[in-house]
Structure 1
Amino acid sequence: MTETRFKFHSSVNSIPVIRPSAATSKNASSPRNNGSNELSNFLVDKTPVTLDHLAADTFSGEMRLTIKTMTALIFGEQDRSEGQPREIELQIDPTTGKPIIPATMIKGMIANAYERMTASRFRIFGDHSDTLTYRADPAAANNLIPIRLDSEYESGTHRGTLLYGPNNARFAKVYTFDGSRKLNTNLEIKHNSEVWFQAAPVDSTYVVTAIWDDERSTYKPLELPENIAAKINLDNDTDSRTDEESNTRQNMESGYKGWFYATTPDDLLKTNERIFSTKNSERIFFDESSSRRSIDIRPEIAATYDRVILSYAYNSEDGETRPKNASRFVHERNNSGLTEEINHNGLLAYARLDGSDSIIEILPTEVGRRNYPRAPRDLAKAQQILPASKADEASPADHLFGFTAEQIPDTTSNTAALKGRITISSVSTDSVQFQSRKRPVLHPLLPPKASSARRFLTDANGKLISGRDRPYYYSMGDMLGAAAYPFRSQDLESRDGFLKRATYEHYKDSMSGNNIDTSNIRVQTRINAWIPSKQTFDCTLRFEGLSTSELRILILIVNSEQLGAWASSSHSRQTAYLRMGTGKALGLGVVKVDCSQYSIYRTSRQDTDHWGLVNDYKHLDGCFGAPSELLADADSGWNHHTFIEQAQEFYELLAKTVSAKAFMRSCIGYSDEHPVRYMHLNENKWNNETDSKTGHSKKGHAVAPTSLAADNWEKPMSVGRKP
């Protein structure tokens, strides 16, 4: 029975992105299904209003933001020297000696929050057009069948042959080592060579006992591991063979035809070297005319082989070097892909078949990386979260923060664009102190890998799809989530805000015994200076022509108490925090954002209301940035308390949407005592284990972080280990 060793929250979780305008979004929690209301009309994609005028019933003005660091804030210029960790340095104003905080950081933080709160399109979406790969559990190798592509595949035959041996054997093993002892094989044959050989059945596989020697015109016996040789000799002394076994023995004496398949490079095979210490054998694929099967292989299927090869490749342009004792499948790549194209003519590989015996993937090795069915971009397109390609696809975040329509092949060069309606002033850091004494090294800043599918993929209702067999993640219908970085509320009580779990020394201690190479200098990040906790800085946020809904959401984001209240179903008093800078997955960059002053004009219809910015312009009574004295009048068209009271129904609807609910919960942090951390390597291996007979995930495995949108969102992960 599996024991539970640790309970913890994942450093990286996800916010479901369920778009009301997406064709696949038919979930009950979508506000679109609550009838026509202000929120449902607001969240859908539509063409932005032009910026050549101030429309009626819009708001312009400014807010004074106060931002307080709750954990260490790390940002700045990054530099890497050869053989040294990456270094992050604060930029200091030489005239004041105070750190310079870029206004773009503040704007990016608010834009990120607004995008997630409104389930908007991702205004920035990387090139994720390639299908991702994952590392398969060794048990999943049992359903792979050897295959050889036709010798003229590149010329357009697009066919191959599935290679089966006697009794449906997948291959015969050619032993080169007996544990740590080299066997006297000295193989002269090369990978992909056609060979004649003799083999004997041992347990559930076949073992090559001799290989045909052309020079001597005879079979050359191979030295075998002692236990293998003993089993074969014992079988030879057994007289009670079935007819089938007798036929197999006769075939062994006359020999089999096959193809030599080695993961070890040819030069190492000649000297009996190996690429890793536990590798004891190579393979010969049977090529029996009575059992092989010809099959169509489309070019897109052949491309799955290339993608796996690319995932193993090293990039010399980025300073990477070829791994020591690399397998023959490690190639060099550059920023455009592999430096040499793969020749598919006569290619030997392993094929993965679906339930109808059609090939769905071709792989270079039995154990290693495999392809997901679809690329993230394919799913993002169906989900309608890709950046807008035309004006009428603009999402709520696009309307407020601006966008340049994504260039796609069938559009002209004159793509749509919109300037944002929010600007951030220079940031005042007069009272901000910074530290530079300790120069700590951060725990490796591992980015959230999109290939960690259980963490990011949801169904159309925002529910995580963990538990599905791994080969079927990233299937059509799956939906991508946005990355979220949870934290514990008690972590905000740290004295200097530099959490112990974020440092490299603590990382090495916690990883002991987990086969983690902590000596890799490339994963280290030294912090030369940072802003500690309990530091406060200010800036002014200016905006023009915001609709009522836009202003409601913006005010909610920059009000830590209001945002915290709506994050809880009981609306109890809590504080919500946003995130800035580097190291969010390590609990760093937690900030409290509040609006201390408002100066807001409401542009009203001139025939019913004489107040507002337009009227001030006409009568030279005031202008944007220099408010008139009439703003102090409660009847001037905008009052903060009245505005918030009138927004309650709107906020209630917003808080019920899956995306906003998950985002707001990510802002208040976990209240329990369980740590927030990355999964350890041995835990990850356990979590990916499959049943050796079925290939399905083992019962109780395939655990994902508890969804932030779920009722039990604060439940920690329980990752078991073998007893």
Structure 2
Amino acid sequence: MTGEFLNPYTFIPAFPREGLPEPLRDGPPPARDLLRPGCWTGRIGVTLTVQTPLLLLDTARKTPLSDGGNGAEGHFVYPVRLRDGRPHLPATSVKGMLRAAYEAVTNSRFGVFEGHDSRLGFRRDAGFALGMVPVYIAAQGVLYKFQQAVLRMYDKDGVSIYPKDGQEAPRHLERLRALVRRGKNNQTEVVRFVREGAKEVLARESGERIVNGVAFVTGPNIEGKTCERFFYLEQGQKPKALELARPWHALEKQWNDLICDYRGVHDEAELFGRRRADGSAAGPGERIGDGPGQLAWSPHIHEDDVTVLRRGSVCYARLENDQVTALYPVLVPRDLYPVSPRELLSESLLPACRYDKLSPADRVFGWVAPRGSGVRPAAYRGRLRIGPVACEQEADEAVERFAGDGLPISILGQPKPQQGRFYLAKSADQPDRPVRDGTPKEKLYQSGRGLRGRKAYWHHAGLDPRQHWNEGQGKWDPTQVRVGSHYREYRRSRAAHDDKGLPTPDKKRYWTTDAEQRDTQNRSIKGWVRPKTTFRFAIDVRDLDAHELGALVWLLTLPAGHFHRLGLGRPLGFGSVRLDIDVENTRLHSGEQFADYYRSLSTPLSDGDGAKILEATREEFVRLVESSDQLVTVREAMLAVARGNPELPVHYPRTRPEWLPENVPAPPDPRGWNFKWFTENERPEQGRPVSGRGRALPGLGNTDAPLTTYLSDEKGGSRDDGRSGPSGRRRSR
């Protein structure tokens, strides 16, 4: 009841590899033309038992909604993948799961680390605007400082007040002649305007001035926004050119990188796939309602013309010591961190660039040289193979099926490394320690910090297996009813009664309708693989050293109550699976045994004691781990995540509404406004988060306090950075 929770993902620390025990350091793989003495070759039988429902979706057989979409075009329903009447689990999926775990437990290099070379963006606080001035680009490298006035454009509901006085609303970058005066809060405001070239005379009254300028229109992209900006010069005023702190090409690059970051966080469906209430298509610059997903996008997000710095463009400039240090598309903008994630990862953890620099996971599972490296050899096949995976039950027994259009699954957010408080470590040498709580966000991605490591998903411990994974029998939305101390996080809430997040009469849950939420942000499923379903497969190994085989055996013999994660929907609790070795179907022989066999060509291979070999190699790996404090930290982190914590629910960060009784945990918000937690976590005070905010993702040590829900701010927060548009629900993930 305290509001404490576990974020669905955490990180297994990845330490720089220079100090590892000798057998785990980089080196070339063994030759494939012989079996070495003391190394093991053979087959390990494995049983995989499903603990929580497993999502095996057949993407090739997806179908649209039965009613043709009903305004939800792009939402698809996925059946379970079946082969020969049984659930089909590809061997590649199992191998991928094992490789990720093997990389972690041996502290190997990352197998893949692409797309992290660009600097990430973050939203500046409102105080940053104090150092901004409006500028007009007169020529390449020539910036004139303008003044600005507010131009009333919308009513309190964000609806345009134009046409007004026979005029249409001014367009972005349109040249105007206007009357301005000093208004409320000492702001200059536009009284009236005419288009450039118009013959109409502007009659001045007391206190009013005639000015010339350019409209700066970003659209109704903020809750409560009523005004746009007008950049102007006084009549007869000579433009003042600003001094540049950096060469013009450097300012252009900073601008272009920032625009790329703005656009990189949105896809085409978010910008152009929105629908009005009547089902018709809505433009990206159009406001279609209140709240996330309804407000307009700023022009620099979707209009190419406004993103090019050319003669006649207007934007904001950051001044330091009266020199322009950077250019921005809005007054309270996003900005770029000085370093990229790639620069914070130790070179020893990056994917191997040469054949003689392979880490343990590369030597066992295989390696491909990074694209464009041009090295030879450029690949290594590896010495481990996963055989076909066979389900032991027929589909009628193994698959839970859902009628109609199936079960709508909760939104699965994309990785958001921009959330530096969750992804960054105190330093590269201390990946197990998060950044300090309360660190100003502009100080997150800085030189000297490190990355937390490899993302891992908590096992959702403490769930009631009989009640949690069904719809329940009550009249309420099943996502709004607790099962023990947990909500059904895997299912998407039904539609909210309205955008205000009103409660039911008992004020214990959100008021939702009977309508399911199915759109482009989530998917529906026709079924899942039931808990207790079993699969069998074999792992063929060739010429593995004792410690290499031992690491694999350790992963296949986790303590009771510990689980690997497999398949889709892991943040929602799906895909906890148990791996166990089938000793009766395990055959392992040493290089010496194979040598003796081939010398005689008549004596069969002896049947060794598989259980004894497995235990001996496992102990060899455990001794190796115990010799390194870093490897012990990694091992304990892996066990903690695989075990889960039954005392804490697992869900994405969210706020609790003011009307909710103190003894009731916060239910999922049917509006999906999880971004409010992150907004509240960054609530500033004198340039840094207020006391108790600015929380980093806790480490896995016992001294780290869990995350907690915050009291909701129903006003919704600002969106002037153009970021919290139709994907507002997803940006927090």
TM-score interval, smaller chain: 0.7 to 0.9
Rounded Cα–Cα distance in structure 1 between residues aligned with 2:589 and 2:498: 56
Asked if structure 2 preserves the Cα contact closer than 8 Å seen for 1:71 and 1:494, the reply is no
Q: Identify, as 1 or 2, the structure richer in helix.
A: 1
Rounded Cα–Cα distance in structure 2 between residues aligned with 1:591 and 1:446: 22
Q: 1:319 and 1:289, CA in 2 relative to 1: closer, same or farther beyond 3 A?
A: closer
Q: What displacement does 1:585 show?
A: 0.2
Residue in structure 2 matching 1:650, options 624, 629, 651:
624
Q: What displacement does 1:398 show?
A: 1.1
Tell me the residue number matched to 1:98.
Answer: 86
User: Secondary structure in 2 aligned to 1:362?
Assistant: strand
Q: What displacement does 1:341 show?
A: 7.3
Tell me the residue number matched to 2:354.
Answer: 390
User: Secondary structure in 2 aligned to 1:631?
Assistant: coil
Cα displacement string for residues 636-685 of structure 1 (whole angstroms, at most 9, x for unaligned residues): xx734444445443232457434443233211111314443443332222
Bigger mean CA offset, 549-558 vs 83-92: 83-92
Residue in structure 1 matching 2:414, options 447, 452, 465:
447
1:586 has 2:556 as partner: no
Q: What does residue range 249-288 of structure 1 map to in structure 2 within 5 Å?
A: 253=209, 255=210, 258-264=213-219, 278-287=224-233
1:457 has 2:439 as partner: no
Amino acid aligned to 2:684: T
1:351 has 2:321 as partner: no
Asked if structure 1 preserves the Cα contact closer than 8 Å seen for 2:38 and 2:546, the reply is yes
Asked if structure 2 preserves the Cα contact closer than 8 Å seen for 1:405 and 1:417, the reply is yes
Tell me the residue number matched to 2:458.
Answer: 486
Tell me the residue number matched to 1:168.
Answer: none
Asked if structure 2 preserves the Cα contact closer than 8 Å seen for 1:312 and 1:329, the reply is no
Q: What displacement does 1:612 show?
A: 2.0
Rounded Cα–Cα distance in structure 1 between residues aligned with 2:306 and 2:598: 65
Give the structure-1-normalised TM-score.
0.75
Q: What displacement does 1:440 show?
A: 2.1
1:697 has 2:679 as partner: no
Cα displacement string for residues 14-62 of structure 1 (whole angstroms, at most 9, x for unaligned residues): 22322223xxxxxxxxxx1xxxxxx522333333223232233322222
Q: What displacement does 1:579 show?
A: 0.6
User: Secondary structure in 2 aligned to 1:523?
Assistant: coil
Tell me the residue number matched to 1:429.
Answer: 391
Tell me the residue number matched to 1:307.
Answer: 260
Asked if structure 1 preserves the Cα contact closer than 8 Å seen for 2:243 and 2:324, the reply is no
Tell me the residue number matched to 1:133.
Answer: 121
Asked if structure 2 preserves the Cα contact closer than 8 Å seen for 1:200 and 1:208, the reply is no
Q: What displacement does 1:589 show?
A: 0.2
Tell me the residue number matched to 1:203.
Answer: 185
Rounded Cα–Cα distance in structure 1 between residues aligned with 2:464 and 2:357: 40
Rounded Cα–Cα distance in structure 2 between residues aligned with 1:111 and 1:345: 54
Which structure 2 residue ranges, 5 or more long, are not aligned? Answer: 275-282, 287-295, 471-485, 503-509, 655-673, 714-733
Q: 1:306 and 1:116, CA in 2 relative to 1: closer, same or farther beyond 3 A?
A: same
Tell me the residue number matched to 1:560.
Answer: 558
Tell me the residue number matched to 2:488.
Answer: 501
CA-atom RMSD, angstroms? 3.8
Residue in structure 1 matching 2:336, options 348, 352, 371:
371
Amino acid aligned to 2:523: T
Amino acid aligned to 2:692: G
Q: 1:351 and 1:612, CA in 2 relative to 1: closer, same or farther beyond 3 A?
A: farther
Q: 1:301 and 1:632, CA in 2 relative to 1: closer, same or farther beyond 3 A?
A: closer
Q: 1:48 and 1:140, CA in 2 relative to 1: closer, same or farther beyond 3 A?
A: farther
Q: What displacement does 1:376 show?
A: 3.2
Q: What does residue range 103-252 of structure 1 map to in structure 2 within 5 Å?
A: 103-136=91-124, 139-140=126-127, 142-148=129-135, 150-153=137-140, 159-161=141-143, 163=145, 165=147, 171-177=148-154, 179=156, 182=161, 184=164, 186=167, 190-193=171-174, 197=178, 198-200=180-182, 202-211=184-193, 215-216=198-199, 218-219=201-202
Cα displacement string for residues 228-261 of structure 1 (whole angstroms, at most 9, x for unaligned residues): xxxxxxxx8xxxxxxxxxxxx7xx64x5554432
Rounded Cα–Cα distance in structure 1 between residues aligned with 2:610 and 2:371: 48
Tell me the residue number matched to 1:329.
Answer: 299
Cα displacement string for residues 538-559 of structure 1 (whole angstroms, at most 9, x for unaligned residues): 1111111212221221111110
Q: What displacement does 1:507 show?
A: 7.0
Larger Rg: 1
Rounded Cα–Cα distance in structure 1 between residues aligned with 2:610 and 2:400: 45
Give the structure-2-normalised TM-score.
0.74
User: Secondary structure in 1 aligned to 2:401?
Assistant: coil
Asked if structure 2 preserves the Cα contact closer than 8 Å seen for 1:72 and 1:589, the reply is yes
Q: 1:86 and 1:351, CA in 2 relative to 1: closer, same or farther beyond 3 A?
A: farther
Residue in structure 1 matching 2:443, options 472, 479, 482:
472
Rounded Cα–Cα distance in structure 2 between residues aligned with 1:639 and 1:548: 9
Asked if structure 2 preserves the Cα contact closer than 8 Å seen for 1:486 and 1:666, the reply is yes
Rounded Cα–Cα distance in structure 2 between residues aligned with 1:58 and 1:510: 65
1:7 has 2:16 as partner: no
User: Secondary structure in 2 aligned to 1:521?
Assistant: coil
Cα displacement string for residues 94-127 of structure 1 (whole angstroms, at most 9, x for unaligned residues): 3xx2222211121111111111222322223343
Cα displacement string for residues 325-353 of structure 1 (whole angstroms, at most 9, x for unaligned residues): 145615559xxxx7997354443222346
User: Secondary structure in 2 aligned to 1:285?
Assistant: strand
Asked if structure 1 preserves the Cα contact closer than 8 Å seen for 2:492 and 2:517, the reply is no
Asked if structure 1 preserves the Cα contact closer than 8 Å seen for 2:354 and 2:375, the reply is no
